[in-house]
Amino acid sequence: MGAAANIPLIIRVGSKLFLMAIVIIFVHFLVIFALGKLFKFNLEEILVASNANIGGPTTASAFAISQRWNGLILPAILAGIFGYAIANYIGIGLAYTVKGLLGM
């Protein structure tokens, strides 16, 4: 037997979460492609950076290896590790900032 679920609640909340995920992905691609073009990175570098941002160093390096972009394997690993080291703290700080702005 499966777990009990409130289907109307899942539909109501699920659609909001799905919309939030779409907005996050859209903003991610806008920012990463805008910065990539601003700093004159080629498409391969932008794609590996995006993968490192979303999946971390393991998936980004695997992606670079699978595409035979040998020069991007180490940068993929370093970008992913740097993201782990820095981005979590930025996210926590941003969450507290938004929470404060909303008066929560």
Residue 31's contacts (CB-CB under 8 Å, 6 or more residues apart) are none
92/100 Cα distance (integer angstroms): 12
60/53 Cα distance (integer angstroms): 8
pLDDT at 48: 98
The SS3 of residue 95 is helix
pLDDT at 7: 79
Residues 85-94 have a mean pLDDT of 91
Check residues 9 and 77 and name the one with the higher pLDDT.
Answer: 77
When pLDDT is cut at 50, 70 and 90, the band that residue 1 belongs to is: very low
Structure confidence by residue, pLDDT tens digits, 29-87: 999 999 999 999 999 999 999 999 999 999 999 999 999 999 999 999 999 999 999 98
pLDDT at 32: 96
Burial per residue of 22-36, b for 16 or more beta-carbon CB atoms within 10 angstroms, e otherwise = eeeeeeeeeebeeeb
